[in-house]
Amino acid sequence: MSTLFRGKHLITFDDWTRQEINTVLDVSMDLKRRYALRERTILLPERTLFMIFFEQSTRTRNSMEAAMTQLGGHAHDLTVDKMQISHGESPRDTAKVLSRMGDGIAIRNCFHGIGNDYISEIARESDIPVISMQDDIYHPLQVIADLMTIQEYFGKDLKDIKIAVTWAYATSHAKPLSVPQSQALLFPRFGMDVVVAHPEEFPLQKNIVEKAKKNAAEGGGKLTIVHDMDEAVRDADIVIPKNWGGFGFFDHYVDDEEHNRIMKENLEKHKDWIYDERRLALSKPDMKLMHALPADRNKEVTDAVLDSEHAIIYDEAENRLHTARALLALTMGGRA
């Protein structure tokens, strides 16, 4: 078992070995058991985590801050308006200064074409571990909690477990590609049969799909892309119905106004992409419904399904805390 995590960045689990990911899962399960027993886990006494949020957050913000508190450290809840980033401070200066003052940096920046580049630049300049709390390409904190939840229900041998990661209609905002892309990259590495379904106007990034296919070949899993929601969910063990924007549809530059107009027009063509009782009946009788939340109720998935015994969304949300504690304890436990 690898224990060489101190100072390690986490931008995507594609940069981590399967052995390292298994260690994170093992530590997460241990910490969850200790949480249930109300045992103290003061593993990061007097440690400081700087959390920089460019967007709103519920599960990520609270799981990370609660994790630091329960580990005996402190998390600074920072937004751009509280920092000189709002006045144009460079990523290098931000990274170097925070490296002198604390023990870890965590950032959420989901702006399309900006977020991953920004977080990656901070990581290159930082002398302390940097964790992506979601960007425009990856969401490692969500996908590791997803994998933990799946193993709790299906065991560690996930060979041939069919999981449908399907686009669904929603109107709240143009959601980034990071959640489905992280799932497509990670799940096949653990032997799962992953079917990604989306209308043709809402693809994942081509380079991510190619990498996910390579991961499947190496990990013993499968990755299939379809454009029919019924086909994806039929006989599925797990269904994840979630909206994402059509950012991967554009292979040429269009200005923001034109970009948003085209995405909205394409969105309205596919209101029937909802996981409802009819589609629930197509899946396996004991299927599990997952969702990163917040869900657009009665657009992505009906209340009747989301509030049914099939849903394990709150277990999934709780596991954001336990996986956050494991990652912080492993990466911030000391200087590299």
296 and 190 part of one domain: yes
Determine the pLDDT at residue 221.
97
129 and 147 part of one domain: no
Determine the pLDDT at residue 336.
40
Q: Is residue 4 part of a domain?
A: no
Reading the block at residue 28, the tokens are 């997460």
106 and 213 part of one domain: no
122 and 160 part of one domain: no
129 and 163 part of one domain: no
Determine the pLDDT at residue 64.
98
Determine the pLDDT at residue 2.
67
23 and 58 part of one domain: yes
Domain count, the chain: 2
Q: Is residue 221 part of a domain?
A: yes
Determine the pLDDT at residue 69.
98
157 and 304 part of one domain: yes
* Structural domain of 112: 13-139+319-332
67 and 117 part of one domain: yes
184 and 134 part of one domain: no
Q: Is residue 65 part of a domain?
A: yes
Determine the pLDDT at residue 4.
83
Q: Is residue 156 part of a domain?
A: yes
What is the C-alpha to C-alpha distance for residues 220 and 215, in angstroms, rounded to an integer? 8
Residue with tokens 């990656």: 120
Does residue 313 sit in helix, strand or coil? helix
Largest CA distance in the chain: 56
Over the stretch 183-219, which tens digit does the pLDDT of each residue have? Answer: 999 999 999 999 999 999 999 999 999 999 999 999 9
Residues of the chain with pLDDT under 50: 335-336
Over the stretch 302-320, which tens digit does the pLDDT of each residue have? Answer: 999 999 999 999 999 999 9
113 and 183 part of one domain: no
132 and 241 part of one domain: no
Domain at 149, CATH number: 3.40.50.1370
Which sign does the torsion angle of CA 156, 159, 160, 166 carry? positive
What is the C-alpha to C-alpha distance for residues 119 and 122, in angstroms, rounded to an integer? 5
Q: Is residue 178 part of a domain?
A: yes
Angle subtended at Cα 113 by Cα 109 and Cα 182, rounded to the nearest 5 degrees: 65
Q: Is residue 324 part of a domain?
A: yes
pTM to 2 decimal places: 0.95
Q: How many CB atoms within 10 Å of residue 223?
A: 24
95 and 173 part of one domain: no
